[in-house]
Amino acid sequence: GAVVSQHPSWVICKSGTSVKIECRSLDFQATTMFWYRQFPKQSLMLMATSNEGSKATYEQGVEKDKFLINHASLTLSTLTVTSAHPEDSSFYICSARDGPTEAFFGQGTRLTVV
């Protein structure tokens, strides 16, 4: 299947700083990408839908000013966690849609805020 690359794989940051996570579709163009969050020992929850060239659509309860999503090209979406706090520590994972019936996940990013 197609490849979605997520970077970095893990990151440790200090409380109050911002962290940017990249999600790239390497061999296809993705007009739509999705961002999920997985807390330890929990399931994955959709945070937002990222559409190329337009504003992201956030799920209920997700702060759009804290989790900034930019989808400026057909192969790249970024998630920036602003003013990170320890409670933002989580596993963030993106997926990219390739056509009407295919979507592929990145390998995820483990964020630890200290």
Partner 1 sequence: AQSVTQLGSHVSVSEGALVLLRCNYSSSVPPYLFWYVQYPNQGLQLLLKYTTGATLVKGINGFEAEFKKSETSFHLTKPSAHMSDAAEYFCAVSGAGTSYGKLTFGQGTILTVHP
Angle (CA) 64 51 113, round 5°: 40
Interface contacts to partner 1, rule CB under 8 A: 1, 6, 32, 34, 36, 42-46, 49, 93, 95, 97, 100-101, 103, 105-108, 110
Looking at the Cβ atoms of 79 and 108, the one nearer to partner 1 is 108
Distance (Å, whole) CA 39 – CA 86: 12
Instruction: Tell me whether residue 3 or residue 17 sits nearer to partner 1 (CB atom).
Output: 3
Closest CA to 79 of 4, 6, 3: 6
Least distance (Å) between residue 37 CB and partner 1 = 11
